[in-house]
Amino acid sequence: MQLEIFQVDAFAERVFEGNPAAVVPLPKWPDDRLLQAVANENNLSETAFFVEGKDGFELRWFTPSAEVDLCGHATLASAHVLFRHLGHAADEIRFHTRSGLLTVRREGEGMAMDFPAASPEPVTPPHALVAGLGSMPKEVLAASDYIAVYDSEDDIVALRPDFAQLEHLDRRGVIATAPGRAFDFVSRCFYPSLDVDEDPVTGSAHCQSAPYWAGRLGRSQLTARQLSPRGGTVRCRVEGDRVILLGRAVDYLRGKIRVNGRMG
């Protein structure tokens, strides 16, 4: 069996920037073991798979070790593939996912994703969080991830995480964030429990951090920068219980993969 595969750099202006995601369009769903094996072989933070349905597309995301409930950059990459390569003519794409209906629209030279907003709550930092980050945050909140708030961008750059400690947390991962110099806020994101020690650019993390910073800064429109080695910029609009994430994507490769397995 042959499947088409695309690798796309999401939240990027040029290749080798942003977060790479693999995108695999499918005619119908195979056994989940095959999806996980393909994601493991790709060895990227996320591989997205989609199947066309009656009212849009069913979309799923896999890390090298597990299926996840929400992934921003691989959704952006999937929309890019549909718009640019697979002839999707409408200005909006509807994705049906574990996190409900997600829509992506063309907006200017990029795309706008409509995602559910999270409302992080203050918590007492667990020992593994402080030990794993190596310094005490000014504030710690939690939603899907722990959010560790620091005073400055320099604090975020200086972090040298102990991933063995962070792997034992009872949340998906950690967002370390602070006010930025050239951006409203900056962050780094760590997900060792998903075999992704540091994610290059994390759309789903901004569904948690953007509402926090919107409340703190008193603005609904924010520009964020993820300070991974690759780096990437995410423009955010907080609209009630939704977060609109805006970004661009660029092609890295297109090819065929040969797998042993049956569809359906």
Q: Collect all residues with Cβ–Cβ distance below 8 Å to 16 and sequence separation of at least 6.
A: 9, 230
Q: Is residue 160 part of a domain?
A: yes
pLDDT digits (tens, 9 = 90+) for 6-62: 999 999 999 999 999 999 999 999 999 999 999 999 999 999 999 999 899 999 999
Question: CA 104 to CA 100: how far, in whole Å?
Answer: 13
95 pLDDT above the threshold of 80: yes
Q: Is residue 128 part of a domain?
A: yes
pLDDT digits (tens, 9 = 90+) for 233-255: 999 999 999 999 999 999 999 99
Residues 225 and 252 in one domain: no
Q: Is residue 70 part of a domain?
A: yes
| Pair of tokens at residue 31 | 């056994």
pLDDT digits (tens, 9 = 90+) for 99-138: 999 999 999 889 999 999 999 999 999 999 999 999 999 9
| Pair of tokens at residue 251 | 């092609």
Q: Collect all residues with Cβ–Cβ distance below 8 Å to 91 and sequence separation of at least 6.
A: 105, 106
Q: Collect all residues with Cβ–Cβ distance below 8 Å to 178 and sequence separation of at least 6.
A: 149, 150, 151, 152, 153, 155, 156, 185, 186, 187
Q: Is residue 213 part of a domain?
A: yes
Beta strands in the chain, from DSSP E residues, in sequence order: 2-10, 19-26, 47-53, 56-62, 67-68, 92-97, 100-107, 110-116, 121-122, 139-142, 146-149, 174-179, 185-191, 196-199, 221-226, 232-239, 242-247, 249-258
Residues 58 and 98 in one domain: yes
Residues 234 and 128 in one domain: yes
Residues 161 and 129 in one domain: yes
Q: Indicate the SS3 state at residue 8.
A: strand
- Rounded to the nearest integer, the mean pLDDT of the chain is 95
The residues with which 198 forms a beta bridge, in sequence order, are 190
Residues 253 and 236 in one domain: no
168-186 average pLDDT score: 97
Q: Is residue 134 part of a domain?
A: yes
Residues 144 and 179 in one domain: yes
149 pLDDT above the threshold of 60: yes
Q: Is residue 233 part of a domain?
A: yes
Number of domains in the chain: 2
Residues 91 and 126 in one domain: no
Q: DSSP H helical segments within the chain, as ranges?
A: 32-42, 72-84, 127-133, 153-158, 163-166, 203-217
What was the pLDDT predicted at 21?
Answer: 97
Residue 34's nearest CA partner among 9, 70, 3 is 3
The percentage of residues in the chain with a pLDDT greater than 70, rounded to a whole number, is 98
189 pLDDT above the threshold of 60: yes
Confidence of residue 259 (pLDDT cuts 50, 70, 90): confident
Residues 159 and 210 in one domain: yes
144 pLDDT above the threshold of 60: yes
Residues 79 and 166 in one domain: no
What was the pLDDT predicted at 263?
Answer: 55
Q: Is 46 a catalytic residue?
A: yes
Q: Is residue 263 part of a domain?
A: no
Q: Is residue 264 part of a domain?
A: no
Set 46, 52, 67, 153: catalytic member: 46
260 pLDDT above the threshold of 80: no
CATH of the domain at 78: 3.10.310.10
The percentage of residues in the chain with a pLDDT greater than 90, rounded to a whole number, is 92
Residues 191 and 251 in one domain: no
Residues 77 and 128 in one domain: no
Range of the domain at 218: 121-240
262 pLDDT above the threshold of 80: no
Residues 186 and 211 in one domain: yes
